[in-house]
Structure 1
Amino acid sequence: MLMNRRLFTQSAAAVVSLALLSSPSAWAAGEAPDDMIKRLSNEVLDTIRNDPSIKSGDVDKIMVLVDRMLMPHVNFRRMTAAAVGPGWRKATPEQQKRLQDEFKILLVRTYSGALSQVTNQSVEVKPMRAAAGDKDVLVRTEVRGKGDPVQVDYRLEQDGNSWKIYNLNVLGVWIVDTYRTQFAQEVNAKGIDGLIDTLVARNKANAASAAK
């Protein structure tokens, strides 16, 4: 199963962190990675507050929000390649595009469900252990709300003058690594086309379930 309850919970916590981050950080030049997340968070929160249909859980509206405001700041090609593993290098350009498209739909659908659950959580940002010139950084946070705090870490890479997320660590588990294990089983059993077919089927099932 490509999306189990634990993985959904991890992704939900990651989205809460991305959507509610509010702690500033100094950077020598340009926009700091945690400042970037802060800016995105404010934009997302303002949109959620001003759109009752999103707050009520309208999946289509949430998917548009996530796809438009959050996903451009994720390096999907790198994330997909890492999730697929060695099979990525053997895939044709067309197969790589289909894998990337279907993986994106899977993540957007997961994030959409998580955003509808955002309520009164807050996020504490841990001090960054990075120099101003570093191009690959780790931003560590804790999501605080009901229950115990949830650890959420972000791996970001510098892309020109901006930063892009390429992995998330929730409660000690890296999301891409979790998918890599699941995808490897599919590739070993059915090949790249089999993995694509499985992703297509999973996305259709998720869409049908949300439509009920």
Structure 2
Amino acid sequence: MTGTAIAMPFVAVTRTRCAAVFVVAITLLGLPLYAAAGGPTTASASAGDANTPRGVVQATTGAVINVLANKSLSTDEKRHRVEDIVYARVDFATLSKLVLARSWNELSEEQRKQFMEEFRQNLSATYGRNVESYKNEKVTIIDDHAEARGDWTVRTKIVRNGADDIDVDYRLRQIDGTWKIIDIIIENVSLVANFRSQFQEIMSQGGPTRLLQVLHEKNERGEPLKAPKAATDKS
């Protein structure tokens, strides 16, 4: 497939900025989750394209860019609108299960709900700090391909003026007939794997109760989870 260049919010691959890449990309992170600014193949993707993994990335990014570029919106308004767009494309239940892995079974139904809420709140606070950092960087969709068990990967590259390019892959899964984002891989580092490592360490200190306590305390302090350090951390 041919690459498609699109404008994206600035995402630096460092421990403090990677976390924002997930959400304002999920951004989440701008997360490179956003794919397009103004082009007919991005912001105005057809309904058919929007039902493909590639189309999900393109359409979501187009909607986010429109919000980030809207100077009439306050920072809080941008944050809330981006959050609505992003979380409509992320399956948070699946993401939470993947992050906790086998530990998910140790949580009661009420604890699972609490975990998802605290985790979401932490990610939202992280990317919310970066909604004003849109600098018209470019993103190229390199290709997309099927993975094991029916998942799909959309490979992108963030092209920055005067800085090294950043490889960002989006893992999607079809859930109830709709393609949803379930992981973001930045410079070969999976955000799911990164958070899983952190949560497993916390769980080893006191199980689900300790995990929920730590997450809640971080949110009370406005302290983000640790972002992964990419293999090629050059920023």
Match of 2:7 in 1: none
CA RMSD of aligned residues (A): 2.7
| Correspondent of 2:61 among 33, 38, 41 | 41
Q: Tell me how far 1:35 sits from its aligned partner.
A: 1.2
Query: Does structure 1 retain, via aligned residues, the 8 Å contact 2:67–2:78?
Result: no
What is the SS of the residue equivalent to 1:115? coil
TM-score, with length taken from structure 1: 0.82
Deviation digits for residues 86-137 of structure 1 (CA, Å, limit 9, x no counterpart)? 2210110000000000001111112222332121111011122339xx8410
After the TM superposition, which residues 1-212 of structure 1 pair with which residues of structure 2 at under 5 Å, given as runs?
A: 6-13=14-21, 14=25, 15=27, 16=30, 17-21=32-36, 31-54=51-74, 58=75, 60-130=76-146, 135-146=150-161, 147-206=163-222
Q: Tell me how far 1:9 sits from its aligned partner.
A: 2.1
Partners in 2 of 1:122 and 1:162 — Cα distance?
Answer: 27
Provide structure 2 residue ranges, at least 5 long, that are not aligned to the other structure. 1-12, 224-235
In percent, how many aligned pairs have the same letter?
Answer: 23
Q: Tell me how far 1:61 sits from its aligned partner.
A: 2.5
Deviation digits for residues 6-41 of structure 1 (CA, Å, limit 9, x no counterpart)? 344223444242224466699x88722121221122
Q: Which consecutive aligned stretches of 4+ in structure 1 deviate over 4 angstroms post-superposition?
A: 22-26
Query: Does structure 2 retain, via aligned residues, the 8 Å contact 1:128–1:138?
Result: yes
Partners in 2 of 1:123 and 1:168 — Cα distance?
Answer: 15
Equivalent AA in structure 2 for residue 182 of structure 1: Q
Partners in 1 of 2:222 and 2:114 — Cα distance?
Answer: 18
Query: Does structure 2 retain, via aligned residues, the 8 Å contact 1:30–1:161?
Result: no
Equivalent AA in structure 2 for residue 39 of structure 1: A
Partners in 2 of 1:32 and 1:205 — Cα distance?
Answer: 39
Partners in 1 of 2:146 and 2:193 — Cα distance?
Answer: 23
Query: Does structure 2 retain, via aligned residues, the 8 Å contact 1:139–1:155?
Result: yes
Deviation digits for residues 48-104 of structure 1 (CA, Å, limit 9, x no counterpart)? 2224444xxx2x334312321111211111111221232210110000000000001
